[in-house]
Structure formats: C-alpha cells, structure tokens
Amino acid sequence: MKSSDVVRALAPADQAGEDEPLSALMYPLRFLGMGLLIAWLCCTHVASIFPGDVFDPALRSAFDTGMRIGDIGTFLAFVLFAPRIGRLSRHKAFSWAAVALTTAGTAAVGLALIPGGVGEAGIIPASIVTAIGGAVLFCLWAEAYSQMGATRTLMYGALSCIAAAAASFLISTMEAPFGVIATALLPLASLACAHLSFRLLPTERAVAKGVHYPIPWKLIVIMAIAGLLSSFSGAFLSATEYVGAIHRVAATGIVGVVILVMAVSKRDRFDARFLAKVGLPVAVVAFAVIPFVAPMQGYIVSVLMRFAYVWFTFFVLLMLANICYRFEIPSLRLFAIARASSEAALLAGILVRRALWQTDLLADPTTLAGFALAGIVLVLVCVVIWMSEKSVNGGWGASADRLHVPGPRERFMSRCDDLAAQYDLTARETEIMGLIAQRKSRAEIEQELFLSQNTVKTHVRHLYAKLGVHSKTAVIALFEE
C-alpha cells in the first residue's frame, strides 16, 4: 500500500479541503460541544441549579434515579443494536429528535414537575425519557473523538473539561428559572457542535460482516470501580447529598487544567497512562483519611474521590478512543458498554450510600476503618487490573476466523512505530513524521498538535536529520511498500 492510499484510508471523508477559515472556525466546536454535554450532566445534578429555589429531596432522588435508569437502558440498547445502527452520526433525524426530547424533558422536570410536586410516579418516567438524548450525545462525541488521534483527543478532552466547569459556573450565577432554561438548552447546543464537527473529521469505517472486535474489559472494569467508589464516597457527606455534584464540577475543571498544563509543559514526554498513576494515589488518600475526618468534614473525602473519578474516567475514555482510532474499531458498542458499566456502578454506589444513611454505621470508628480498608483494596484491584492490561497492540484490532486482520490505519501506524524504533525518534517526531506522510501542510501540523510554527520547524529539522532525508517527498517514500 502506498502512502497516498493510506491517506485516503485515514481520512476518507475529510471535507475541510483547503477551506482554512471554515476549519479555523469549527475546530473549537469539538471541545466546546463536548464541554456543553458535560455541563448539562453536571448542572442537572446540582440542586441549587436544578430545579433551583424549589427543593424536594425525595423528588430530586427520584429524578437522579430515573436519569441513571434511562442512561443504562439507552446504552444497553445501543450495545444490542450497534451492528444495525452503524455510525450514529449518520442518523441525524434520530439524534435531533432524541436531544429535543431531552431538552423538553429537562425543562419540564426543572420548571414544572419538581416545583409542582408531581410525585415520584411522574418524575421517574419523565427523567428516564430525558436521559435518552444525553446518552445519544455521549456516543456521538465518542465517535467524533475516536477519529481525532491521540494528541487531539487529549487536548480537546482537557479543554472540554475546562469548558464544562466554566459553563456550569456561569449557569450557577443565574436566577431561577433562567438557570433551568439554560441547562435545558445545553444538549441542543452540544448536538449542533457535534454535527458541525463531523464535517471536518474522517468517517468511521463500517463494520465488516464476519469480523470480530475484542472488548478491553479490564479498562471498563476500572471505569466501573471508579464510578462505584466515587458515588459511594458521598456517604460521608452526611445530610449534604447534592454537594457532591458541586465537587464533581470543580474536579472536572481542575482535572482539565492540570492535564492541559502537563501536556503543554511535557510535550515530548507526556504519557497518557500517567493519568492513572496520578489518580491511584489520590483515591488511596481519599479512603485513608475516612477514619480521621468528622462527619461535616466528609467533603475532604468527596472532593478527593471526585477528582480521582474524573481523572480515571478521562484516562479510560482516552485509551478507548485511541484503541478505536488506531485499530478502526466501531465506537458505538465499545463506548456504550463502558458507559453502561459506569452508570450501573454509580447507581449501585448511590443506593448503598442512601442505605447507609438510614443506619448508625457511619458513626462507628471500627466500621469507618473497615470502609477505608475496603476502598483501598478496590483501588489496589484497579492497580492490578491496570498493570496486567496489555499495551495497545495488534491484539485489539479486527479479527476474522480468530486471525488478526490489520486495517489500513493500523498498518500505517505500525510502520510509523517501526521507523521510530529504527531511527530512535521521539514520540513527537513520530507524530510529525506520520502527519507528513499523510501530506499534511505545516499549518495543519501546527493546528493538529497545538504547536507553534517555530516548534514544528525545529522538530522537522531534527526529524530530517535522524531519517537522513531533506524533503517531505523523501519522508513519504519511507512509507512506500
């Protein structure tokens, strides 16, 4: 396969062409749109925002439970029907209808049903329906991010966390009922950004008949355990159940800022797996302090666990997106399984903490020590799972009759890896070499890797010296078979 053929395989439907103004305008929509979805998820769980001045703990609990059930049900439906659905982005009418239903449901619950004291029998069905569009949006953005590549996925993911925290903070300053109205409009704005973003992204490959795609279950288990521990940790926030949602908003923004700073300051040495190395000790510390904090200081545990949860979730989703990108694995089923597992674990943790609040167990020092130990054990289980997880290699890709079938993108990236090992290239030089082989211009490389013009020139000069070449044509020739 020639390099020019690989380029078409890597970006079969990239419609950006030479329209740089359109490209420059629409690139930010990728992190803004995802950020608006995260903001909607955050705002609907912050009681001071949704429903605002009117607060009924029983109805709020019913809404949260219904949303979890709706999420899990929708994701399981996607898991079952993923082969028939194919690319979710091509079902525009369905996505608009689902998200419009979510907007209407959010407004109805926040403006009428909860304030009107309709009762759990009315709140739960309405919240189940409201969750459908959120699940659709999550899978749409998963498809988009799975076509961006490692660097862009990392950077846009971090920026989306910052955008989500900023949007949530802005909405929190609004008076009722404007906060609820703004929250209800977030899914529609996110969907508009998603469909515009797909105009600049390669089209996800269709599922080939008779081809099997393995599921990285260990990564999904880590995500589920993180969700369970995060929601369970709220048990130590006595009488302040919904403060945990505020902690998650803050943790989301902090995680985004920290990852962005790390990625910018350590461009050549930043490893996405470092995210797990940071999240693990934070989670251990969160549980270790449980026996030593007073009931009203439970926010310490909550903040630390929310930070660890967001950090772990970011890590797992980034790894899943990278697997989908490199091995051209359809994203819908994979991300639906991951999200269904996470939501089920979150719901289980919520039910456990509500049950604990009905007992005196949290006042017993011995019991608290037991909870702390159990939490640390689960975190260590994550360590064992993570350390035993295979690296992203040929085992993840498509297989037919139990034989691995590498796709064009995998073959191309494997060639990049081989050349990197042969010529002792850095991770950044390898990325730039791959983009040059795809005939990307210097301006496109700067944009994709978030690098300045001088930085790209320096990397290209070092790359050429190591490869012993003097032009893009010579680099492209290295990929000819």
Give the residue ranges of the chain where pLDDT is below 50.
Answer: 1, 3-5, 7-9, 12-25, 239, 391-395
Residues whose CB is less than 8 angstroms from the CB of residue 28 and which lie 6 or more positions away in sequence, other chains included: none
Would you state the pLDDT for residue 155?
87
Q: Kindly report, residue by residue over 160-198, the tens digit of the pLDDT.
A: 999 999 999 999 999 888 999 999 999 999 999 999 888
The whole-angstrom separation of Cα 377 and Cα 298 is 20
Side-chain-side CA neighbours of 100 within 13 Å: the count stands at: 6
Would you state the pLDDT for residue 188?
96
Whole-model pTM: value is: 0.87
Would you state the pLDDT for residue 101?
96
Matching residue, tokens 């908003």: 249
DSSP state of 343: H
Would you state the pLDDT for residue 393?
40
Would you state the pLDDT for residue 311?
82
Would you state the pLDDT for residue 16?
39
Would you state the pLDDT for residue 362?
72
Matching residue, tokens 């009488």: 239
Reading the block at residue 364, the tokens are 């017993």
SS3 label, residue 403: strand
Would you state the pLDDT for residue 3?
47
Reading the block at residue 49, the tokens are 């925002």
Roughly how many angstroms between the first and final C-alpha of the chain, as a whole number? 6
Please name which of 158, 159, 287, 168 lies closest in space to residue 230, comparing C-alpha atoms: 287
The whole-angstrom separation of Cα 20 and Cα 14 is 13
SS3 label, residue 399: strand
